[in-house]
Structures are given as structure tokens and as C-alpha cells.
Chain A
């Protein structure tokens, strides 16, 4: 078993806080700097693979936009600039806290780095909450990938009457999407209580942080839904105010006036939403993966692992997180801002 023992003594194995030199240097590296440089190059190369992974979707986007610009103009009006803009700012803010956390880790300030990472985690979850509101709203209107796309002008989904959706007056899809976060929230809260009861302070703190992260999702979903309700009330008021309520504010409807304009829309409009769901969905998967990585960092901050000569993991996860932000920076104008 000496193989396992001699090589596995690097990152995760050690138990507590004796800080002898080179505690986290894996046996095959000569120095902390060599280890850091290797990790740094590794993560940059990994980001290259991520860029190329997304490139396929950007190619598909470019082609369909190039060949059918009118469809894209038409379709993007279904996307709400305000929600998209808020999400952009949320992600930018999480990038700020992440970059700041890297600084704190470089200075060896584990406590502060942990707090900043927790804010980043909450922002990530809030981003997903807002995204869930956007998704569920579209699903209500049957704005779906091309084979299921069945939007009809002037269609308003009936308000839910039963269950949680009815009680909260929200879309049943939003309830469905929120089930998993709710389950996680319950599990993490229970875990925090259990850990606290059994006297494991560190794990209790960690579980609490996870629960706080999950509640970020609900903050995001609540904020998004509130905006959505307000927005729809506005639209309805406008519709009542004038005969041609369609004309102002909602260019999609003005673009295709008439009650049964579904048939007039080119079939490719569904392809736009296919691409939209692929791009944002894949991005959301990356956000979720980022949340997992950030949680791991938070735990290590609690254990006070980071020092000026060992902060690599924060830096690497930070780079990944900024890439997720970078991709959103491009997705936002490409999907939401088409005129």
C-alpha cells in the first residue's frame, strides 16, 4: 500500500492545522512555485477546452443568425432585457468578490476569503433563481425548442389554482424547477443543525454556508418573479389603456400584428430558442459546477489552508469562475440585445 500512502499525502488528506513547510506540496514537485505554475498552466489550458466546448454553440448561433437575421430580431423580443441585465450584474458582482477572494487568499486572510467566496456562491445561486423565472415564464407560453415550440399570440396561461403554484400564484414550472434547490436547502439546514448538535463546529459552519447559498436561489427567484409580475401587470394595463396596446413597449407583438400570427412566423424561430436553451442551459450547468467548486474552496478557507505561498486552488477556481462570467458577457448581447 505504500504507493497509495506516499502519493496521496498532498491536498485533501491532511487533517488539521499543523503548518509545517510544504504541507500541500505534492511529492513529485520540487517547490511550491513549480506546483503553482503547473496548476496555473493546467487551468488556463482547461479554460481553452471550455472555450472550444462552447464554440460549437457559437458556430450554430452565428450560422442561423447569419442566414435568418429576421428570425433572431423577432425571437429575441421574448427575452427580457431587464432580467438578463440584472443577471449580468449579479454575475459581474460575483466575479468581483471572487477576484477579491483571490487577493485575500494571497494575503493569507482565510477568514475574509471565505466570506467573499460565500457571497460568490450566493450570487451564483441567485443567478440560477432568476434564470428559473425566465425559463418557467417561457415554458408557460410554450416558447420551447423547435419541435415543441407552440407560442400563440395573445395567449395567456391560466393561473394555477391548485397546489403550491396556486397558493403562491406562480408558474407550475417554477415550482418544479425550485424543488431541487428546496430539497438541498432542507438537507443542508438539517445537516447544519445536526453537525451543531454533535459539536462539529466546522462542518456545521460549512453546512450553514451551503444552506445560505441555496437560499440565494430563492432570493433570486423571488426578485425575478416580483419583477415579472410587475412587468406583466404593466403590459396588461397598457393593453387596457389603448386599443393598440401591442404597439408600444413590446416590439415582438408589433412586429407581427394580428391575432393568429403564429403561422406567419418562420419555423426557424423555434431554432432560435433551441440555441437559446442550449447556450443558457450549458452555461447554467457550468454555474452549478462552479458552485460545487466554490463550496469546496469555502471549506478549505474554514480550515485556514491558504497562505501567500499556497493559494493555488482559489486562483484556479477563480479563473474558471471568471470564464463562466466571460461567456455570459457574450451571451447577454447575443441573445437579449438584438434589434
Chain B
């Protein structure tokens, strides 16, 4: 990293080509590694390992490609704070949804499985092919969502 400050470029801090290339090859190596590890029987640890490798890759990109290594402290804190709020979002939501998940999973079974639209293209003319919930869903339904709605309008 010393050679990145070898000249005076004002507020520009060019990163040396050598560093850029070595970061790139480390990233490729880690990518291959994570694919190879994925085929090994690691049990439930595989997600942890995969996410650790991904985080390692992300750190390399952030530190050197995104110059975070030389960045102003305020900017680093600003960016990393976003991760804190994302984890807050995931954490609270995950903490909650478990308690009623069974109701949701049993909802289609209680009411018949969700109808499928056979053999149509995604996205096209969805106005016409909105799947109609079966009649049992409509009568005596417990919630308004089961109302038939043949025409989804904008």
C-alpha cells in the first residue's frame, strides 16, 4: 500500500496496479473456492462458510476497489451503518414471523392449493389471466383477499 501514496496527486490516491491485480486474482480464487466447497458435504455449515467467503470477497472489494482503506472515516461509518440498519430490519422481522408462519403455510392447504396459470408467458397480459381462486375460497372465506378479481386494473 505504500506505493499508492508515492506521488503527490492532491486529493487523488491512485491504487497501484499490482494491488488491483492481486485483489482481482484473490477474488477469482475465492469464487472458485466457494463453488468447490459447495460440492463437499459440509452439512448445515455450508451456508455459514459460503457467507463468510462472500463477506471476505466483499471486504476485499470495499477495501481496495472502493478505496475504503484510504477513505475518510465519516464516509466509512456512513456506509457501514447501512449494514446495521439492514440487520435490524432482518432481525426484528425474523423474530416475529416465526410465530404465525404455520397459519400462512396451512392457508393454501386449508383452502385448496393456489391455482396456477398453465402454460402462459410471464408478465404478458396478466390482466386477463389473473388466476381465479377456487369457489371455496370465495364463499365463507375468512378474509377479503379471496374475493374473485378477474380484472386487475392499473
Chain A residues proximal to chain B, CB less than 8 Å = 32-33, 36-37, 40-41, 44-45, 47-48, 51-52, 55, 58-59, 62-63, 66-67, 81, 85, 88-89, 92-93, 95-96, 98-100, 102-103, 106-107, 139, 142, 144-150, 267-268, 277, 308-309, 311, 315, 318-319, 322-323, 325-326, 329-330, 332-334, 337-339
- Cα-based distance from A337 to B118 in the complex (angstroms): 29
- With an 8 Å Cβ cutoff, the count of chain B residues facing the other chain is 65
0/1 interface trace, chain B 85-127, chain A, CB 8 Å (1 if under): 1100110011001100100010010000110111111100000
Contacts of A51 in B (CB 8 A): 79, 82-83, 86
Chain B residues proximal to chain A, CB less than 8 Å = 9-15, 17, 20-21, 23-24, 27-28, 31-32, 34-35, 38-39, 41-42, 46-47, 50-51, 53-54, 57-58, 61-62, 64-67, 72, 74-75, 78-79, 81-83, 85-86, 89-90, 93-94, 97-98, 101, 105, 108, 113-114, 116-122, 131
Contacts of B89 in A (CB 8 A): 55, 59
Chain A residue with the shortest CB-CB distance to B40 = A339
- Contact between A52 and B118 (Cβ–Cβ < 8 Å)? no
Contacts of B79 in A (CB 8 A): 44, 47-48, 51
- Contact between A89 and B38 (Cβ–Cβ < 8 Å)? no
- Contact between A148 and B90 (Cβ–Cβ < 8 Å)? no
**Could you pull out 6 A-B pairs where Cβ atoms are within 8 angstroms?**
A41-B74, A103-B14, A139-B122, A149-B116, A318-B66, A333-B54
Nearest CB of chain A from residue B43's CB, rounded to whole Å: 9
- Cα-based distance from A55 to B89 in the complex (angstroms): 8
Nearest CB of chain B from residue A140's CB, rounded to whole Å: 11
